[in-house]
Amino acid sequence: MKFKKGELVCLSASGKRNKQNNGQHEGFGIVWSYVPSDKWPYKLKWFGVRSISKFEIVMKEYEIKRFKVKK
């Protein structure tokens, strides 16, 4: 497990290339839970520029990276 519960993440370059992640290109997410036996083990709550997701978003580890604040 690379990311811990409560950690802030954003899309990685691979995640941005993935057509299924169109709604999450902007903003950041919070790791809500991790279930290693699931096909998509990371459950995220996403906070985008326009809205907050009403549901958990599921992703694989390669699709996300740690969120860094731009200075």
60 occurs within a structural domain:
yes
* pLDDT one-digit tens code per residue, 7-65: 999 999 999 898 888 777 788 999 999 999 999 999 999 887 666 667 788 999 999 99
52 occurs within a structural domain:
yes
15 occurs within a structural domain:
yes
Report how many domains make up the chain. Answer: 1
Please answer whether residues 50 and 70 qualify as being in contact, where contact means their C-beta atoms are separated by less than 8 angstroms: no
What is the chain's percent helix, strand, coil content, to nearest 5?
A: 20, 35, 45
3 occurs within a structural domain:
no
46 occurs within a structural domain:
yes
Q: How far apart are CA 71 and CA 38, in angstroms?
A: 36
- Banded pLDDT at 70 (limits 50, 70, 90): confident
Query: Domain of 52?
Result: 8-66
24 occurs within a structural domain:
yes
